[in-house]
Structure 1
Amino acid sequence: MSAPRLVDRHPEIAAQELVAALTPPPRFAEVRFDTYVPNPDEPSQAAAVAAGRAFAARVGAERNTGFFGRMFGKKAPAEPLGLYLDGGFGVGKTHLLASIWHAVPSTAKAYGTFVEITHLVGALGFAEAVRRLSEHRLLAIDEFELDDPGDTTLVSRLLTELTDAGVHVATTSNTLPDKLGEGRFAADDFIREIRSLSARFTVVRVDGPDYRHRGLPDAPDPMSDAEIDAHAATIPGATVDDFTDLCAHLAKLHPSRYGKLVAGVPAVHIKGLTAVPDENVALRVVALADRLYDRAVPVAVSGKPLSALFTEQMLRGGYRKKYLRSISRLTALARDASR
């Protein structure tokens, strides 16, 4: 009997399900500030923990004016309602973001990736998304990035409406807010929107090396196809897919569905890994890698090593940090599979 395949799964997500799912993913369901271990050689990490604690305390202490409170001309807050955790990949920014979410003593809070939030707006409509999210005290957005002009305008409008309503916004990114979109599209054409976003955040820098690989060996070598089949056979429910077929399947699904695509899968096996053919495929693979990492799903591959997933040209381009983060996360999941 052949192993199940991800390409045979066609997840659908209703609008109500999107709202209910706005919580930290399984990997970050139990994290707290106390479980974040700052690198003693990187003082910015301990400072970021302190900033996160203070932000969460402020969110818990302040009263959200809500959607209708905006109509009565509430005075703007003395300081920005946003906290922006900026830094390289693998320094624990998502851990800190989830810790903020857990620390806020309210059920009126939402947590999602950037792509999940933009998809929510598309599914509900802008006005309805603003209405629902405006009743929250906190909106936490992971992996904040502006990859196209449409997202720039949409997110600028959304965060303007939400912060005007008194919603606190915490976010992580690998790019400073005034550099969003740089190297990807004509950011100069949207500088007003980008500056507007920047003004709504207090930026906290988190520096350091990638903790996922601190003192650990490199990624395991790729398996053979036969080894992939044998390994998958030992794990009930593990999937086995051809890399090219999987990439084609991802193109048929909105990235917001990738989490449900791998939900409940105990391990993912991919045959014939090779360098992605273009940037569109590359960004879908990045989104899938993030959802696999969120759910701590081990990944085993045959073909090329994970380090060859993105071309040298891609690693020199505007999405460089995204690609390096993806390799880092997949390497950690490959170690899990080898164990």
Structure 2
Amino acid sequence: MTCYRCSSGRFLLAVLMSLHVGQRVIGTGWKMVNGHWLNWFLLLSVMYKGVMAPIRIEVGQREIHFIPGRNFTLPAHFTLDPTDISSGQKDTIYSGTWSIENGKKEIVECLKDKNNWKDSMKERRGNCKLESSSISFTLTSLIPEDAGDYDLELVSEAGEKETTLFGVKLYESVSKPNIQKNVEKIEEGINFTLMCQVEKGTNPQFTWEKLVNNGTPSILVKDTILTLTHINSTDCGSYKCVVKNEMSQEKALFNLSADDYPWCQKQNKDLPIFVTIGLIVGLLALICIIAGIWKFCRRSNNERDLNAVDSVEQEEMEPLRDAVRSAGQLVSNEGPSEDHNMTATRALQ
């Protein structure tokens, strides 16, 4: 870096730090005591890049994974000491050059008014934008060959330069997971863990599930490790590790069954008891319902029979009542006599 770019404050800070380090170096005679002089060298480098460098680049994410066919953008923000103490003029960023393969192959020189493309293939799929405090590089319809290390070099009007690096990698599908347990022999009452691992895959997400009796999975934990404490027969069953990312999904099973672990049979022995009790209760309830319906139907039939008998008797007695009424009228009209009495008696009979 040329000295004329140093501001007075930055220059004073550099001098003070140099004197302080010099004093420490002279005091120790350049002896590397617990790596002190190396630590100071690294600290000076960081202070120079972060405080005294005229151009400072800020990057949110240096490693980016992409999926073929999609787009990605490499963004960066920068700050610049605007004063050139030699001329008193404000300095600005003139250009930003993006390159690949450790700076050997230039892609585009990004300018404020236009872009000078070096790679015509990426020009058809790319866009570069330079603003007062930020710069971005975008590629569309990505292909696997776009993976690599991308360099950004910023150049100011005064000729100052600063570079930074981005890692662009291909987004990998997840591989078939592998389940490992932390104990060789699983016995009732112990604590043990299951670990789910994959050999490859970008940003894998892990989920542990347990398959219940109806086959519906029950989510236990979203992590690579599943811990079971004081295990007993209720913990027996099938456990599934599901691994997925934006490109694919894979799974693996771990069975904790009576075939391999005899203490799981307790669960199978206890199950018929509850089933039997449930069946008995259900049968009794069904019997009560049937008995109630039968009783209700029988009562209704009896009431209908009684009503029918009453109706028949009423119909049979009606002529007799008419005869009695007729005999009564005769008696009232002619007076009582033996013939009349005999007629009434016969009618009643």
TM-score by length of 1: 0.19
Higher helix proportion, which one?
A: 1
Between 1 and 2, higher relative CO (CA 8 Å, sep ≥ 6) is seen in 1
- Structure 2 length as normaliser, TM-score? 0.19
